[in-house]
Structure 1
Amino acid sequence: MANQPIFILPEGTERYSKRDALRMNITAAKVLAGIVRTTLGPKGMDKMLTSSLGDVTVTNDGATIMREMEINQPAARMLVETAKKQEDIVGDGTTSVVVIAGELLSKAEELLDDGIATSIVVKGYRNATKKAVELLKEIAIDADDEETLKKVAVTAMSGKGSDYAKEHLADLVVEAALRIKEDGKSDIDNINIQRVSGDSVEDSFLAEGIILDKSPVSKNMPRDVRDAKIAIMKYPIELKNTNTDTKIDITSPDQFEAFLKQEEDMIKELVNKVIDSGVNVLFCQKGIDDMAEHYLKKAGIMAFKRVKKSDMERIEKATGAKLVTDIDDLSEDKLGKAGHVYLDKIFDHELTLIEECDNPKASSIILRGSTRYVTEQIARALDDALGVVAATIEEGKVLIGGGACEIDLVKQLREYGETVSGREQLAILKYAEALEVIPRTLIENAGLDTINLIADLKAAHEDNPFIGINVFEGKVVDMKEAGVIEPLRVKIQALQSAGEASEMILRIDDMIAARNALNSTGPDESGNDASGMPPMPGAGGMGGMPPMM
């Protein structure tokens, strides 16, 4: 019994240890980076994603690609979450985060193969990230004018299906962001992008107020209201269902009639409270009873039900209305104002417009396009542009794009690495080398000569730090003059997120999971599991232990 194996993990558990676990995670990150890498830059390609229900998505937006993909591998999922967080915080740079993280891990693998300890690599990467952020802040330039904001928006939308109309769309984005600017910030949640298929992208426009994809609860209600007094309610104008089982005994027609009369009186009482407040346009987040609809229509009130929470917040920002959660609190001082609320038909889409508001802090962009797929793709480009413009308004600093700031970082990080002693220097130099992946990818995706252009770029940077790659002309040019500009915040967030993600993955030296977590459907014909990774040698089902006979 001395050699009897001891099992501490349940049957079916997979375990990958030390170098096997690290290699598996790094390979998964590199595979994911390789998938999205071809979408980077103005010449990036698109991906077509088809869901299990047959829905088709065509996009080159990194966040959308990773969100739609069903990724099982845990380390790859960590990168996906990092990209989502980048999208949530700054609105753009999701592809760059994954590409940089994948390249950092690839360079780390080279160091590990040379015998450098993981802790040394992690420390070097951490210091290099900190230094890179300091350097970016030093080379950033001020941006406080409308023209710079437009250049930022154009750069963000380049290569995202909107190139032929990006100048017009950039004007809409900047105007919308400046319109809602408050205390030096622009909350892009207060900008609604309403997609309407039909006509061309050039027909897109910025509405004068709020636009809702909603119609009144009755076609017989007013469709055009001037001098609107607006109420927004989170209270149903209908009878509430009882929480417990109830039983009503009705033994005569008179009793039934009295019961219906009582219900009608209760509904009428609710409607009267609305009428007494002076409302002529009502937006309700909850339901409106058919009988209540009748009385509201009779009173000449334009009413909407089941209005989305996000729309309610925009109406509140635009009109000054206060959200009412109890109908007894509805009064004239809680009402918002708008000069004109009316229904309009754009192509075959009926929309409600709220216009002529005093100092509105919310806005809507009507996005046109020939098909649903076109409007969806361009809406994602607009989202990115809004995010970077908002970040620029708040930060007030920008960087020169086209690979210019990355090459500048490479040069200065190498100089910094030479001042660091010990093996940590090697990690810092590899970090600097990894940042070259951005200009290299821009060149590769444009089908240009990578070796010569990178050499020309490095040589030109000795005299001018604003030199970058013009992928349309296939040569190095002054990107500041070309108007290729990126927000400082987006680049800093991308470097910090990529550095943290790669550090997290490098620190994992053991993976223990139930079999279905890593191999839910079993190996395929090629021997790979559902995560897309080949099974690791020596990783038995019992934590690497031989099976019990």
Structure 2
Amino acid sequence: MAGQMSGGQPIFILRDGNQRTRGRDAQSNNIMAAKAVAEAVRTTLGPKGMDKMLVDSLGDVVITNDGATILKEMDIEHPAAKMIVEVSKTQDDEVGDGTTTAAVITGELLKKAEDMIEQDVHPTIIASGYRMAAEKAGELLKELAQDVTIDNRDTLINISNTAMTGKGAEASKDVLSEIAVSAVASIVDKTDGETIDIDNIKVEKKVGGSIEDSELIEGMILDKERVHSNMPKKVTDAKIALINSAIELKETEVDAEISITSPDQLQSFLDQEEKMLKGLVDKVVASGANVVFCQKGIDDMAQHFLAKEGIFAVRRVKKSDMEKLVRSTGGKLITNIEEMTADDLGKTEAVEERKIAGDNMVFITGCVNPRSVSILLRGGTEHVVDNIERALHDALRVVGVAIEDEKLVSGGGGPEVEVALQLQDYASSLSGREQLAVKAFAESLEVIPRTLAENAGLDPIDMLVELRSHHEKGAKTAGLDVYSGKVIDMWDAGVVEPLRIKTQAINAAAEASVMILRIDDVIASSNPSPSGGGGEGGMPPGMGGGMPPGMGGMPPGMGGM
């Protein structure tokens, strides 16, 4: 990049090899990249969307239909394309579903913007039009929304079904939706409004059996086994000690040497160790505990004593699982065994070790107040189980969002068509050039029903025309039934989604496309050239002080010894 000087001598501002694209070139380059990413996930949209198989550099395979997962696994280089990935990531964090929708709308908005730029509409005008349209769309969606509460179980199951459809879990979505709704309902935190932390639902996957064998455990599952085979396999009326320090002898902090001169001394030393361990176990027994979950290790000798007392013990339980155990059993984390009392113990009906698909797992069931629950997922192969887990995650998040917001809209591309129609009217009421952008925004939303139809092998234009005519006649909840290829009432069909999916997708898409549109200059640095890059005749970089770096008078680490 060079500026012209009066003497005709160019001045170089950027380092050699840096690239700069400006104006139209930069915009079309960014838009192309973003559109390409949106195209990549477009075929996965809807109940009849297809899946993608992603193979990473190590040969690990992921088969998925989830927009966010696909974009995360596709190693995307282009900076503008990465913004689309962020849109779907935000959508995933906020709502958990609708990730493909958000990416596809962003791509469509940019496509329309490109046409307007061709017609000399300034990007800033497009940006402000898009913002106005997104705000208006949010209001229109709110008007379309209907209420739902945690008691409408059937509706919640419908929401979960909608989220899972097309994700490889259809065949058994009824079983999974029942599980998802029950799981979310049992962890609702009513203290400050109805908040739901999906982290309190633990999903354990086990290959083997069929998807129908999946079950909800009102309590916890640990992928662990008891430490000693003499321990009981099942403890009923369990009193659980949750210990996060090791049940072993402490090593001394200072280096100490013990000199033993005779065998008797050695024996008494060993006896003393054993006595100390016995003391620790006695403390556990004295508190009345009959189950011990330890976050760290349990000494072999201590295992023996625990087994003798008939205590069920598990060691090296993950910290996150310990926290969930605290929530579901009502116990306290015990840091110092010496001070533990009966009040610190958690209570559940039963703790038992069961064999699932050849592995032992510990089930903690019948919790007094299951503030955290577990779901055991089964499936024929690893990929099936992984895919089901992703579908279930979306369903859990979506049911949670619906209970938090208590607002629903219909699915099947209905809301998009309705909002698009009303935005067209809104556009005609504007006088400036923004109305072009608002119109474009309205048309962009129709990409959703169009893509749904395309993915189902229907004629997108016919379907869109039919959808529009229904909505113009006032059927606000009419949507596309991709199975029969007809336009039907989506409320009656039970195809419903939380309002937040739509508002978040539209807002995120508008913001990302505006951001990409406003870029008119891309300056990309290249790696510094190996020739030292310090200008001619200079020193190699880093040698500015006359001494090799780190030799500031003394070897490093010798300061003042």
Name the TM-score, length of structure 1 as normaliser. Answer: 0.88
Distance 1:155 1:249, change over 3 A: same
Displacement of 1:207: 2.2
Displacement of 1:161: 0.6
Contact map agreement 1:267 1:292 (CA 8 A) in 2: yes
> Which amino acid in structure 2 is aligned with residue 484 of structure 1?
V
1:6 counterpart SS class: strand
* Residue deviations 1:323-373 (CA, integer Å, cap 9, x gap): 234445533222110011001122323221111221312222222211111
1:461 counterpart SS class: helix
Partner Cα separation in structure 1 for residue 400 and residue 89 of structure 2: 18
Displacement of 1:165: 1.0
Task: Determine which of 110, 117, 124 is the counterpart of 1:119.
Answer: 124
Distance 1:325 1:498, change over 3 A: farther
Task: Determine which of 158, 181, 186 is the counterpart of 1:179.
Answer: 186
Is 1:510 aligned to 2:515, yes or no? no
Distance 1:208 1:99, change over 3 A: same
Partner Cα separation in structure 2 for residue 93 and residue 99 of structure 1: 10
Displacement of 1:290: 3.0
Contact map agreement 2:218 2:370 (CA 8 A) in 1: no
1:425-464 aligned at under 5 Å gives the runs 425-463=435-473, 464=475
Partner Cα separation in structure 2 for residue 514 and residue 262 of structure 1: 68
Displacement of 1:240: 5.6
* Residue deviations 1:62-118 (CA, integer Å, cap 9, x gap): 111122221121222222223222212211111111111111111111222211222
2:114 counterpart SS class: helix
Distance 1:70 1:302, change over 3 A: same
Is 1:398 aligned to 2:408, yes or no? yes
For residue 350 of structure 1, what is the aligned residue in structure 2?
A: 360
Contact map agreement 1:205 1:365 (CA 8 A) in 2: yes
Partner Cα separation in structure 2 for residue 501 and residue 167 of structure 1: 36
* Residue deviations 1:22-81 (CA, integer Å, cap 9, x gap): 222211111111111100100000111112121111111111112222112122222222
Displacement of 1:11: 4.2
Task: Determine which of 166, 174, 181 is the counterpart of 2:173.
Answer: 166
Task: Determine which of 188, 191, 211 is the counterpart of 2:198.
Answer: 188
1:339 counterpart SS class: strand
1:220 counterpart SS class: coil
Is 1:157 aligned to 2:168, yes or no? no
Distance 1:343 1:76, change over 3 A: same
Partner Cα separation in structure 2 for residue 295 and residue 28 of structure 1: 65
Is 1:81 aligned to 2:83, yes or no? no
1:41 counterpart SS class: coil
2:501 counterpart SS class: helix
* Residue deviations 1:197-234 (CA, integer Å, cap 9, x gap): 22221222222432221112223322211111112233
Displacement of 1:471: 0.6
Displacement of 1:4: 3.6
Partner Cα separation in structure 2 for residue 15 and residue 439 of structure 1: 39
Task: Determine which of 289, 294, 313 is the counterpart of 1:284.
Answer: 294
Displacement of 1:136: 0.7
Partner Cα separation in structure 2 for residue 511 and residue 238 of structure 1: 60
Task: Determine which of 107, 110, 115 is the counterpart of 1:105.
Answer: 110
For residue 423 of structure 1, what is the aligned residue in structure 2?
A: 433
Distance 1:443 1:260, change over 3 A: same
Distance 1:286 1:89, change over 3 A: farther
Task: Determine which of 461, 471, 474 is the counterpart of 2:485.
Answer: 474
Aligned length: 517
> Which amino acid in structure 1 is aligned with residue 27 of structure 2?
L
Is 1:7 aligned to 2:12, yes or no? yes
Unaligned runs of 5+ in 2: 534-561
Task: Determine which of 207, 215, 230 is the counterpart of 1:197.
Answer: 207
Distance 1:251 1:318, change over 3 A: closer
Partner Cα separation in structure 2 for residue 352 and residue 312 of structure 1: 13
Single out whichever of 485-494 and 81-90 deviates more from structure 2: 81-90
Displacement of 1:382: 0.7
Displacement of 1:257: 6.0
Unaligned runs of 5+ in 1: 518-540, 542-549
Partner Cα separation in structure 2 for residue 492 and residue 12 of structure 1: 43
Single out whichever of 174-183 and 374-383 deviates more from structure 2: 174-183
Contact map agreement 1:250 1:256 (CA 8 A) in 2: no
Partner Cα separation in structure 2 for residue 204 and residue 330 of structure 1: 37
For residue 232 of structure 2, what is the aligned residue in structure 1?
A: 222
Larger of the two Rg values belongs to structure: 2
Single out whichever of 417-426 and 187-196 deviates more from structure 2: 187-196
Using CA pairs under 8 Å that are at least 6 residues apart, name the structure with larger relative contact order, 1 or 2: 1
> Which amino acid in structure 1 is aligned with residue 140 of structure 2?
L
1:306 counterpart SS class: coil
For residue 133 of structure 2, what is the aligned residue in structure 1?
A: 128
CA RMSD of aligned residues (A): 2.4
Single out whichever of 255-264 and 379-388 deviates more from structure 2: 255-264
> Which amino acid in structure 2 is aligned with residue 440 of structure 1?
R
For residue 213 of structure 1, what is the aligned residue in structure 2?
A: 223
For residue 63 of structure 1, what is the aligned residue in structure 2?
A: 68
For residue 395 of structure 2, what is the aligned residue in structure 1?
A: 385
Distance 1:165 1:296, change over 3 A: same
Task: Determine which of 484, 505, 518 is the counterpart of 1:494.
Answer: 505
Distance 1:269 1:493, change over 3 A: farther
Displacement of 1:428: 1.0
Partner Cα separation in structure 2 for residue 69 and residue 200 of structure 1: 30
